[in-house]
Amino acid sequence: MRLAERFLPFAVAAVAVGVGYGLSVGLAGYFVYLGVSAVVAAIALLGLGVVTGTAGMISLCQLTFGAVGAFVVSACNVAGVPGGFVVWLLLGGLAAAAAGVLVGLPALRLRGITLAVVTLGLAAAADLTLVQIQFPGATEGLSVERPDAFSDDRSYFFLAVLVLVACGLVVHFLRRGRWGSSWHLVAFSERGTAAVGAGVRTSKLTAFAVSAALGGISGGLLTGQVGLAFPASFTAIQSLALYVLAIMSGAHLIDMAVFGALLWVAVPELLKRWGVPQDWGFVIFGVLGIQALAGRGNLGTAVRNLWHRSRKPAGLGLTEVAEVEPLPPGDPVLQVRGLSVSFGHVRALSDVDISVPEHGVLGVIGPNGAGKSTLVDVISGFLPRATGTVTLDGRLLTGSPTRRARAGLRRTFQQDRVPPGLTVGAYVRFVARRRLPGAEVADALEFFGCPSARTPLSRVDAGARRLVEVVGHLLAKPRVLLLDEPAAGLPHEEHVAFGRRLRQVPARFGVSVLLIEHDLDLVRSVCDRLTVLDFGEVLASGPQADVLADPAVLKAYMGETELL
Ligand code: ADP
Ligand code: MG
């Protein structure tokens, strides 16, 4: 099964090449020409599927990257660069990737509509500039030379299919690798990305670069198709329409990128046959795009949901696990001194001291709004304006969340930060940020009763997803893991069972834990030491029994819960 899965992409690629060859021989000449246009559009859409569909950034200048590719191919043709068309195509892709990084730089700070405006503005500016400077060789009418073996239209179509299949394979494997996981993560939560020690910057820039490279290759192919590139093929309005088509078809799925490309070619063609002005095609794409953006979802996801609808979401399946003797708590590994932070007039934390012992599970409890999540944010570097010191293994812990994560401090979030686009296994491996044997992943998942590594996260229920997040961070083997109400969504029995497992975490995974929890039963069974926060101050701190018997703690908890 696993072997079959490994070869499946290549088998699909081989079939696609076969179909492409058949079409190149069998189609009527006119359709061969349209076929090249569809392949060109499919490659550009694949690129949008990366930057928009996977990494969640709006890019409205995909055809500008196409123009970069076309420009490089034309320039190489004029200069007679050795290597011929295929090499020029690759150079065009590389140049477009570099342009993609440049365009991606603002995306590090801008998001949503602002990024849309910036990229569309760029597309419009590039459009005007191209009209001014024209493509190399255009004024002389110097047509781009196709490779000898693919010089007629039929064989050029086959070449285009080969390029598309190669691009599809590259995208498939990139998306299954580290970059791909980071794209899914950054689209879903930038904070979540930083918390696993993955660079948000790298993630966004690689997405832009890969997407632009595909745009560049598609522009280069188009130039080989028509011989001479024209600015009219790369206008801002067409980039916009292509974006809408990517959203609507769900171009993050390779088959849907191809489907979108067929629409891209077929709609104007049909309109032409019916005698309707072709610009109406933009209106049709626009309406469908608005439907997709308004939350109706895209076609690709809709089709896949039909397939999955009958299947229940996967939850926890807890089995008995062997008991492991907890290790005796050692010296403090994480020490927090004098932490304070305010939000306007709200003093969320004032002068808080906390210390997590090696091999220990420190419980942090307190009523809603006591400052528990804020404490985790400060320690993990998400609130840089806080005052006070945090030391890990005696070394001062400073800098960005990414840096702190890499130094051995991990955290989970109270809200779901697990991207639905990945499988359980891909996500866990990405969060762990190290090479992991399949058995180690499977063991850790099984220990917490999580669904298997192959399950798509979109099919895992919310409570189990949060434990998958915990497993990923534990497998990263940090020095300390901060857990912000990790079991909040679980039913009572599962909550208790989770607690039993958590108690074994230091011994099993070699990770010390700070646990924020509202269920006092769980706290009692798991934590040796407790710190109680109330209105941002430490109310009590020490061995569990002492703290829970403290009259001040009882008083603070009276209105909040009946559990004591
Ligand atoms: P807990 O996790 O213990 O329920 P929080 O740490 O979320 O509490 O919140 C502590 C206090 O800080 C609350 O009064 C909350 O309203 C306030 N607070 C938290 N985050 C922000 C923020 N980003 N802006 C303004 N106030 C905030
Ligand atoms: Mg909280």
Regarding whether 336 and 232 lie in a shared domain, the answer is: no
Q: Give the mutation target among 374, 379, 383, 482 for probing the ligand 1 site: most ligand atoms within 8 A of CB.
A: 374
Query: Which of 212, 236, 260 corresponds to the end of one domain?
Result: 236
Torsion angle, alpha carbons of 302, 308, 311, 317, to 10: -110
Report CA(427)–ligand 1 centroid distance (Å). Answer: 29
**Long-range pairs of 97-101 with CB within 8 A, sequence gap ≥ 24:** 97/209, 97/210, 97/212, 97/213, 97/216, 98/209, 99/64, 99/65, 99/68, 99/212, 99/216, 100/65, 100/208, 100/209, 100/210, 100/211, 100/212, 100/213, 100/215, 101/205, 101/208, 101/209, 101/212
Whose atoms come closest to the Cα of 484: which ligand?
A: 2
What type of residue sits at position 428?
V
What is the tens place of the pLDDT at every residue in 235-259?
998 999 899 889 888 878 888 889 8
**pLDDT band for position 563 (cuts 50, 70, 90):** very low
Query: Which of 185, 202, 236 corresponds to the end of one domain?
Result: 236
Residue 451 lies in a domain: no
Q: Do 174 and 207 form a contact (C-beta atoms < 8 A)?
A: no
Which atom number of ligand 1 is nearest to the Cα of residue 485?
2
Ligand 1 proximity of 369 Cβ (cutoff 6 Å): yes
What is the tens place of the pLDDT at every residue in 355-397?
999 999 999 999 889 999 999 999 999 999 999 999 999 999 9
Regarding whether 379 and 522 lie in a shared domain, the answer is: yes
Which atom number of ligand 1 is nearest to the Cα of residue 366?
3
Residue 220 has pLDDT above 60, yes or no: yes
In whole angstroms, what is the distance from residue 335 CA to residue 243 CA?
A: 49
**pLDDT band for position 496 (cuts 50, 70, 90):** confident
Ligand 1 proximity of 485 Cβ (cutoff 6 Å): no
> Helix or strand or coil: residue 530?
strand
Residue 486 lies in a domain: yes
Regarding whether 537 and 389 lie in a shared domain, the answer is: yes
Residues 6+ apart with CB under 8 A from 460: 313, 314, 315, 424, 450, 451, 468
Residue 515 has pLDDT above 50, yes or no: yes
Name the residue with higher pLDDT: 557 or 555.
555
Domain containing residue 209: 8-236
For the chain, give the mean pLDDT: 89
Residue 79 lies in a domain: yes
Report CA(339)–ligand 1 centroid distance (Å). Answer: 15
Regarding whether 485 and 344 lie in a shared domain, the answer is: yes
Ligand 1 proximity of 147 Cβ (cutoff 6 Å): no
What is the tens place of the pLDDT at every residue in 58-106?
899 999 999 999 999 999 999 999 999 999 999 999 999 999 999 989 8
In whole angstroms, what is the distance from residue 446 CA to residue 317 CA?
A: 8
pLDDT at 373: 95
Q: Which residues surround ligand 2, an ion (CB under 5 A)?
A: 372-373, 414
Query: Which of 186, 215, 236 corresponds to the end of one domain?
Result: 236
In whole angstroms, what is the distance from residue 466 CA to residue 487 CA?
A: 7
Residues 6+ apart with CB under 8 A from 213: 47, 65, 93, 94, 96, 97, 100
Count the domains in the chain.
2
Report CA(86)–ligand 2 centroid distance (Å). Answer: 56
Query: Which tokens hold the place of 442?
Result: 């499977």
CA-nearest residue for atom 7, ligand 1, is 373
Regarding whether 338 and 213 lie in a shared domain, the answer is: no
